[in-house]
């Protein structure tokens, strides 16, 4: 029971949500106006008068980073004018506006070295980079990469850092706003993979499997085995393999009847010849699963 409770209490490091609105929705025009906000103003603004795209979309502008796009980290007045013109054209042409939110669990961001809770500072360039990578994947999957314009901002006005992204088509190619469910999954995995550095652990896993276990077995002649338990099992599997060696793939249906024997053979072989490497592999895989659970 305690283990089940602990799993449900895990807060995901990254959450991605999306919705869309039509050009007639008031928030569309509010976003166009928001692009023109004076970022130099420092006076307090009440939530009631600050821009709201959908229930505190942008929140207090004083707690928001500058707008950024796929090309620029901070827009000049001329670039802001061009962006506003693109969004105005999109609204005039009845474009959909897609609204994405990437939310981060701050402690998880701190573990990744992106956020410092003590100084309340964040690596904005890194978050801009991962946003661009995620948006690139989304636009490609949704076939919007040739027609869409987007802008985004990092927000600090809640307990968790989050990034709001608005996307439109100045010259619309579709009238429906619904995206494929897989698109959100790809966006999230892109954000996670760009933030967490699992390269060393993954390299170690691949090395254990490919170099220390599989390659070593390839160098041995299968028929040179003298183990009384392994050799008969190996020969039984070998003699029942398809004649076409191209079908000697574990995922093929022609191999399905042999899978239980292949699994048993593999387990016994690893236990006898690679017990140490196998324990290291399990340890590394457990570490990988733990990190991915925290992210997802």
Dihedral of CA 58/60/61/64: which sign? negative
Q: Characterize the bridge pairing of strands 14-21 and 97-104.
A: antiparallel
Which of the residue ranges 61-75, 96-110, 133-147, 239-253 would you say has the lowest mean pLDDT? 61-75
Say if residue 160 is in the same domain as residue 224. Answer: no
**Number of compact structural domains in the chain:** 2
Task: Looking at the structure, tell me whether residues 143 and 68 fall in a common domain.
Answer: yes
More confident residue, 190 or 60: 190
72-84 b/e with 16+ CB inside 10 Å = b? eeebeeeebeebb
Q: Tens digit of pLDDT for each residue in 7-64?
A: 456 788 899 999 999 998 888 888 888 777 666 443 333 322 322 333 333 434 455 6
Of 49-53, 91-95, 188-192, 203-207, give the lowest mean pLDDT range: 49-53
For residues 142 and 24, membership in a common domain is answered with: yes
Last residue of a domain, one of 195, 215, 235: 195
DSSP annotation of 152: E
Cα 83 to chain centroid, rounded: 27
Q: Cα 25 from chain centroid?
A: 30
| pLDDT computed for residue 67 by the predictor | 87
Contacts of 166 (CB under 8 A, 6+ apart): 31, 53, 87, 97, 98, 99, 150, 151, 152
Q: Domain check: are 46 and 183 in the same one? A: yes
- Higher-scoring residue by pLDDT: 106, 206: 106
Position 186 scores a pLDDT of 94
Give the mean pLDDT of 135-141: 96
Q: How many CB atoms lie within 10 A of CB 7?
A: 9
Q: What is the mean pLDDT of residues 229-236?
A: 84
Of 112-116, 188-192, 235-239, 282-286, least confident by mean pLDDT is 282-286
- Confidence grade of residue 173 (pLDDT, cut at 50, 70, 90): very high
- Shared-domain flag, residues 68 and 167: yes
Helices assigned H by DSSP within the chain: 2-8, 26-35, 77-92, 106-111, 124-141, 181-195, 199-206, 215-218, 230-239, 259-273, 275-295
Q: What is the pLDDT of residue 132?
A: 96
Cα separation, 126 vs 73, in Å, equals: 11
pLDDT bin (cut points 50, 70, 90) of residue 219 is low
Read off the DSSP letter of residue 64. Answer: B
Give the best-scoring range by mean pLDDT among 125-139, 143-157, 246-260, 269-283.
Answer: 125-139
**Both structure tokens of 290:** 């733990």
Q: Are 102 and 134 in contact (CB under 8 A)?
A: yes
Residues 18, 156 within the same domain: yes
Among residues 195, 225, 252, the one where a domain terminates is 195
Average confidence (pLDDT) over 190-214: 67
Tell me the percentage of the chain whose pLDDT exceeds 70.
71
Residues 176 and 275 in one domain: no
* Residue 206, domain extent: 199-295
CB 13 within 8 Å of CB 62:
no
Contact present, 149 and 90 (Cβ < 8 Å): yes
Residue 215: the pLDDT is 59
Lowest-confidence region among 3-7, 94-98, 140-144: 3-7
In this structure, the answer to whether residues 22 and 57 fall within a common structural domain is yes
Find the range with the poorest average confidence among 61-70, 242-251, 268-277.
61-70
Q: Is the pLDDT assigned to residue 162 strictly greater than 50?
A: yes
What is the Cα Rg of the chain in Å? 27
| 108 and 236 inside one domain | no
Which range is least confidently modeled, 104-108, 123-127, 216-220, 246-250? 216-220
- The answer to whether residues 11 and 113 belong to one domain is yes
Question: Does residue 227 share a domain with residue 256?
Answer: yes
Q: Please classify residue 231 by burial: count the beta carbons closer than 10 Å to its beta carbon, then call 0-12 exposed, 13-18 middle and 19+ buried.
A: middle
Query: Is 46 in the same domain as 131?
Result: yes
Query: Minimum mean pLDDT among 55-69, 82-96, 230-244: which range?
Result: 55-69
What was the pLDDT predicted at 255?
Answer: 92
Say if residue 151's pLDDT is above 70: yes
Give backbone dihedrals phi and psi of 166, rounded to 5 degrees, phi first: -120, 130
Of 195, 223, 257, which closes a domain? 195
**Domain of residue 20, CATH code:** 3.30.930
Tokens encoding 58: 């942008």
The whole-number average pLDDT for the span 152-178 is 89
């Amino acid at each position: 029971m305690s283990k089940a409770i602990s799993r449900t209490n895990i807060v995901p490091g990254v959450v991605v949500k999306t919705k869309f609105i039509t050009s007639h929705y008031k928030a569309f025009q509010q976003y166009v106006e928001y692009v023109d906000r004076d970022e130099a103003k420092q006076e307090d603004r009440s939530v009631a008068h600050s821009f709201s795209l959908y229930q505190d979309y942008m929140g207090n502008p004083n707690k928001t980073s500058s707008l950024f796009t796929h090309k620029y980290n901070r827009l000049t007045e001329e670039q802001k004018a061009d962006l506003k013109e693109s969004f105005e054209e999109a609204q005039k042409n009845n474009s959909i506006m897609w609204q994405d939110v990437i939310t981060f669990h701050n402690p998880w961001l701190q573990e990744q070295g992106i956020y410092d809770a003590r100084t309340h500072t964040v690596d904005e360039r890194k978050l801009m980079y991962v946003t661009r990578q995620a948006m690139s994947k989304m636009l490609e999957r949704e076939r919007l990469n040739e027609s869409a314009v987007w802008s985004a901002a990092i927000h600090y006005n809640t307990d968790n850092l989050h990034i709001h992204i608005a996307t439109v088509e100045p010259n619309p190619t579709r009238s429906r706003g619904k995206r494929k469910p897989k698109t959100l999954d790809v966006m999230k995995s892109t954000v996670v993979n760009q933030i967490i550095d699992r390269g060393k652990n993954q390299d170690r896993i691949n090395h254990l499997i490919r170099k220390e276990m599989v390659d070593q077995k390839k160098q041995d002649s299968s028929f040179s085995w003298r183990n009384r338990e392994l050799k008969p099992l190996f020969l039984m599997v070998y003699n029942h393999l398809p004649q076409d060696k191209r079908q000697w793939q574990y995922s093929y249906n022609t191999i399905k009847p042999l899978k239980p024997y292949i699994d048993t053979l593999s387990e016994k072989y690893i236990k006898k010849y690679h017990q140490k490497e196998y324990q290291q592999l399990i340890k590394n895989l457990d570490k990988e699963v733990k990190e991915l659970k925290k992210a997802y």
